[in-house]
Structure 1
Amino acid sequence: MMKKLTLGTLALSLFLAGACQNTNEKNEEAEKLGENAIGIHDEIMPQISVFSKHEILIDSLLENLSVLKSMDPDLDTADTREKLHTLKTNLESATDKMMVWMKEYAMDSTDVDYQKTEVKRISELKTEFEQVKYEAESLLAPFKK
């Protein structure tokens, strides 16, 4: 009876030790994924202030299209207005998505699948930020002379 109890206790101890190690590994993986998500966030977050400046420039350009037309008679004001409105919408959308992500993100979550999903989500947002940044730089370059 003593041997069975000892072997049972040993087996239970080994099982629990393995379970704890597995939990620690998952916690470490979740922590690394969380750090990755925050790293991506930190990389793109400074763009929000740049996007805000672009929005101010767009508002100014939209208010002064007639002046721009007088300076450049070939300027298609209808097309320019549409492109500027679209760009402003895209800038606002990217910024809003970042704010939502920051509000919803649970950095201290130890759920590996959750952290993987959030890394994917913030990575997709980074791609969107890069696209909007390129769009803004391309469209606004002629007006920054």
Structure 2
Amino acid sequence: MKKLAFLIASAFAITSCANSSKTNNQDDLVKIQKETIKIHDEIMPQISAFDKSVVTIDSILTNLGAIKTAKPALDTTNSRQELTQLQKKLDDATDHMMDWMKDYRSDSTTLTYANSELAKVKTMKALFETVSKEKQEILNKY
């Protein structure tokens, strides 16, 4: 009888731990997913600003001759290269976000996937911050 009581108590303890672990994993999963979407929501509004900046860069590149007239010291070769590179970085950052959104599986139930996606959006946020800072520095010259 003591053995039976011990086995029942052990089985109950193991089941309780397993259920507790599932609950903790589910809580962690939800927390990570919310953080991922929060970071996405911080980055997303920058896309329209990046798109406007690409249009601005196109305009500057088109009118570089007139800008050179107003600013004779301007190195147009260097400016064209710098603006073209910035334009590519803006487009690449935006494309990166669009690709991530297309591939993101919000219905995934694995912590590994959720952590991987959180790492991706954190990296993307850092990229957006770097490109945004560079955009301000370069476009302020014009």
Normalised to the residue count of structure 2, the TM-score between the two structures is 0.92
| Aligned twin of 2:63 | 64
| Aligned twin of 1:51 | 50
| Aligned twin of 1:79 | 78
Percentage of matched positions with identical amino acids:
38
Amino acid at match of 1:43: E
| Aligned twin of 1:125 | 124
Task: Point out 4+ residue stretches in structure 1 off by more than 6 angstroms.
Answer: none
Amino acid at match of 1:87: L
Amino acid at match of 1:62: L
| Aligned twin of 1:26 | 25
More deviation, 22-31/66-75: 66-75
| Aligned twin of 1:13 | 12
In 1, distance between residues paired with 2:5 and 2:31? 39
In 1, distance between residues paired with 2:20 and 2:105? 23
Amino acid at match of 2:92: S
In 2, distance between residues paired with 1:140 and 1:56? 12
**Mapped contact 1:30–1:109 kept (Cα < 8 A):** no
SS in 2 for 1:110: coil
| Aligned twin of 2:134 | 135
**Post-superposition offset of 1:132:** 0.4
Amino acid at match of 2:21: N
Normalised to the residue count of structure 1, the TM-score between the two structures is 0.90
SS in 2 for 1:142: coil
Amino acid at match of 2:85: T
Unmatched segments (≥5 aa) in structure 2: none
Q: Is residue 107 of structure 1 aligned with residue 110 of structure 2?
A: no
**Post-superposition offset of 1:130:** 0.5
**Post-superposition offset of 1:12:** 2.3
CA deviation map 1:37-91 (0-9, x unaligned): 1111111111000000000000111111111111111111110000000000000
Unmatched segments (≥5 aa) in structure 1: none
**Mapped contact 1:55–1:88 kept (Cα < 8 A):** yes
In 1, distance between residues paired with 2:108 and 2:11? 28
| Aligned twin of 1:116 | 115
SS in 1 for 2:73: coil
Amino acid at match of 2:119: K
